[in-house]
Amino acid sequence: MKFWQAVSFCEPEQLVAIAKIAEEVGFEGVLVSDHLVHSEKLESRYPYSETGEPDFTEATPWPECWAAIAAMATATAKLRFTTMVHILPLRNPIEVAKAASTAAVLSGDRVALGAGAGWVKEEFDLLGVDFKTRGRRFNECIEVLRKLWSGEMVEHQGEFFDFPRLLMRPAPGKKLPILIGGISTFALRRAARLGDGWLGSGQTPDQAIEIAETLTKLRVEAGRDKEPFEIVAPLVTPPDPDTLRRLDDHGIAGTVSYPFFYSLGATSTLAQKRAVMEQFANEVIAKAT
């Protein structure tokens, strides 16, 4: 079982130090969240709460994820980095390919792309991207990314993107994994057919196991059940050793220490964050190894 520290809502100036501590106390990696802006009038409904209201506010900082990952990578040696999640269909995949591959090279291939369809229509409107077609764009973005990350001369003619033969360098030294976020039927099918893994959004152990079993069936149907596939499932219940063993038995590779926001509030000192990570390391990581 691998353990990840989520740094959503964190003070940006603390990220490098947090990464150093996470590596020191035994975390597998850090999860970096993604939004462009906070709209003053947010009409989109947050899909992961009963009220439809997000936990973050207009005061929440959203550092650009690839810049943040690059900074943290230079200060660490083994820690992995994943976006949870990058709103892929909001962006041009050529630009995403360049940013992610550069971060991969600078980090020694310690980067994965965690990607989601997005739920904030206002962000799509801001960039002039059709919110309704984001699912099809998502699928095509993955195809474009994989082509460009090959480091070879490639071309593409699709519904949304079209370019002649070209190559992109630097290319990742090894396969850059794409982990798909989301709990909808469409998201799970996309993860099984196109992804290298799945990222949860906060589930009970039973819910996480049910999703893992569904993903296994879908991967068999897609003929991809023999390929590597990493499931990271944040839990809404305490990650005790028995629960973690159950998850591991069902192919769930990792879980998450929640953003400091939930235990320490909107702002906190680095010393307070260290205490939270050390407690998680002592009470969860140490008992699971």
CATH code, 147: 3.20.20.30
How many CA atoms does the CB half-sphere of 225 hold within 13 Å?
Answer: 12
Average pLDDT over the chain, rounded to whole? 96
pLDDT in tens, 4-26: 999 999 999 999 999 999 999 99
Q: Model confidence at 218, in pLDDT bands (50, 70, 90)?
A: very high
pLDDT of residue 125: 97
CB 135 within 8 A of CB 180: no
Say whether pLDDT at 289 is over 80: no
pLDDT of residue 53: 87
Provide the pairing of β-strand 162-166 with 154-157: antiparallel
Q: Position 223: which residue type? A: G
CB atoms within 10 A of CB 138: 25
- Rounded distance between C-alpha atoms, residue 198 and residue 178, angstroms: 9
Say whether pLDDT at 32 is over 80: yes
CB atoms within 10 A of CB 137: 24
Q: What is the mean pLDDT of residues 268-285?
A: 98
**Of 101, 103, 96, 97, residue with least CA distance to 72:** 103
In the chain, % of residues over pLDDT 90: 92
Predicted TM-score (pTM) of the model is 0.96
The most confident of 42-46, 48-52, 108-112, by mean pLDDT: 108-112
Q: Position 133: which residue type? A: T
> Residue 33's domain spans which residues?
2-288
pLDDT in tens, 87-129: 999 999 999 999 999 999 999 999 999 999 999 999 999 999 9
Paired tokens of 57: 């506010």
Paired tokens of 50: 């009963």
Specify the number of domains making up the chain: 1
Q: Position 115: which residue type? A: A
Paired tokens of 113: 């792309």
- Rounded distance between C-alpha atoms, residue 3 and residue 280, angstroms: 10
Query: From residue 283, how far is each of 115, 241, 268, 287 by CA, in Å?
Result: 30, 10, 21, 6
User: Is residue 115 classed as helix, strand or coil in its secondary structure?
Assistant: strand
Q: Model confidence at 52, in pLDDT bands (50, 70, 90)?
A: confident
Say whether pLDDT at 46 is over 90: no
pLDDT of residue 51: 87
